[in-house]
């Protein structure tokens, strides 16, 4: 590992816009929570948990990810989960995060929406106070469930809407196109929430068209498969739409067969506004810095390329223009002052 490159990326001011809090549940915390809550888990050791993280596709991963979330039972668990993630981000100079949570994963097993939201929001507040990390919370609807179920969770979230930045769409993509959620995204937009959706991770390019034209999203999560449709690439580039790429996730879920084949660099060259994220770092083997390093090394990215990616992370965020400009200027200052 190139330590100089790691130091450069670690110190680079960054934002993360595609992170599932439930996907930051490290095996150590999973064991601790299993014990605290007297929940049985089907693993003897932390190493056995990690050994089980060998996936052939998105569904393989989701089955284990939803099972792992069963150790999360009360407000304190959600606080600890979120705080552990923010602590790591503080060590990597991550200054702003817009994080996903999947309330249905919890409410469907009898956990109160309030316990989930209160725990996460308290940690996000403490993360800003203790580490200066600003944040937003994005409520994701599980797309393998019905639109009616999504309306139910939006109703539960009603008292929290002033603390929720936006809605997202995640879980099993194939067979669950964005159009299935047209009405709930319209409702979310009417309530002033931002809209994002996973599209084109495993699903085809027409799912990205649907996310744009039917869900009216402000950002596309993943979006890799846009490359199958040159006109879509041109449209995304022209509109400055941010695509939240997740390199280590793509490798672990076999969206790509080798990091050297990751489309990030060609997407940059096509004028797409791409940025780097960790998706579910506890399951995919790396947090934000590791994801930058994985593409930097495999695709031979320059420091300037990495600075563009970091700037795109703020440009694509839902921060206001002044904050974006301040963060982007800090990146220029960092690069200019960096030795060598
Ligand atoms: N990469 C991913 N794609 C879809 N749903 C998810 N939920 C957590 N991670 C996900
Ligand atoms: Zn994701």
CATH of the domain at 272: 3.20.20.140
Is there a domain that residue 33 lies in?
no
Residue ranges with strand state E in the chain: 14-16, 94-101, 134-142, 166-170, 194-199, 219-222, 242-245, 273-276
Is there a domain that residue 65 lies in?
no
Quote the mean pLDDT of the chain. 98
Span 208-240, pLDDT tens digits:
999 999 999 999 999 999 999 999 999 999 999
Span 263-314, pLDDT tens digits:
999 999 999 999 999 999 999 999 999 999 999 999 999 999 999 999 999 9
Is there a domain that residue 135 lies in?
yes
Residue ranges with strand state E in 87-171: 94-101, 134-142, 166-170
Is there a domain that residue 117 lies in?
yes
What is the sign of the dihedral through the CA atoms of 182, 103, 108 and 44? positive
Domain that holds residue 148: 3-26+76-337
Q: Given this model, what pLDDT does residue 340 score?
A: 79
Residues annotated as binding site for substrate?
Answer: 280
Ligand 1 centroid–CA 338 distance in Å is: 35
Between CA 4 and CA 240 the distance in angstroms is: 32
- Which residues are known to be catalytic? 201
DSSP code, position 43: -
Ligand 2 centroid–CA 337 distance in Å is: 34
Is there a domain that residue 61 lies in?
no
ipTM of the complex: 0.98
Is there a domain that residue 178 lies in?
yes
Span 64-101, pLDDT tens digits:
999 999 999 999 999 999 999 999 999 999 999 999 99
For the whole prediction, is pTM greater than 0.95? yes
Is any atom of ligand 1 closer than 6 Å to the C-beta of 16? no
Residues less than 5 Å from ion ligand 2, measured at CB: 279
Q: What total number of domains does the chain contain?
A: 1
What is the sign of the dihedral through the CA atoms of 45, 49, 51 and 52? positive
Q: Given this model, what pLDDT does residue 2 score?
A: 83
């Amino acid at each position: 590992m190139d330590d100089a490159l790691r130091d450069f990326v670690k110190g680079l001011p960054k934002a993360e816009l595609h992170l599932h809090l439930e996907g930051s549940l490290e095996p150590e915390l999973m064991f601790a929570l299993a014990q605290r809550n007297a929940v049985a888990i089907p693993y003897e050791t932390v190493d056995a948990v990690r050994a089980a993280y060998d996936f052939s596709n998105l569904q393989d991963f989701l089955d284990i990810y939803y099972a792992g979330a069963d150790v999360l039972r009360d407000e304190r668990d959600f606080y600890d989960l979120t705080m552990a993630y923010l602590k790591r981000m503080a060590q990597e100079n991550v200054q702003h995060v817009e994080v996903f949570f999947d309330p249905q994963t919890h409410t469907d097993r009898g956990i109160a929406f309030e316990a989930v939201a209160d725990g996460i929001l308290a940690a996000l507040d403490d993360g800003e106070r203790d580490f200066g990390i600003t944040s937003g919370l994005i409520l994701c609807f599980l797309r393998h469930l019905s639109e009616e179920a999504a309306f139910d969770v939006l109703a539960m979230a009603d008292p929290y809407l002033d603390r929720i930045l936006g809605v997202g769409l995640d879980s099993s993509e194939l067979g669950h196109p964005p159009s299935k959620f047209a009405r709930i995204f319209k409702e979310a937009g009417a309530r002033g929430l931002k809209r994002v959706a996973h599209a084109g991770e495993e699903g085809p390019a027409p799912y990205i068209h649907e996310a744009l034209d039917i869900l009216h999203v402000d950002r596309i999560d993943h979006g890799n498969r846009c490359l199958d449709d040159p006109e879509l690439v041109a449209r995304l580039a022209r509109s400055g739409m941010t695509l939240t790429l997740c390199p280590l996730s793509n490798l672990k879920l076999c969206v790509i067969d080798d990091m050297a084949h990751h489309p990030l660099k060609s997407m940059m060259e096509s004028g797409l506004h791409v940025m780097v994220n960790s998706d579910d770092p506890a399951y995919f083997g790396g947090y934000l810095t590791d994801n930058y390093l994985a593409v930097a090394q495999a695709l031979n990215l320059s420091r300037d390329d990495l600075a563009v990616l970091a700037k795109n992370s703020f440009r694509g965020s839902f921060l206001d223009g002044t904050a974006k400009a301040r963060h982007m200027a800090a990146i220029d200052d960092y690069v200019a002052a960096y030795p060598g």
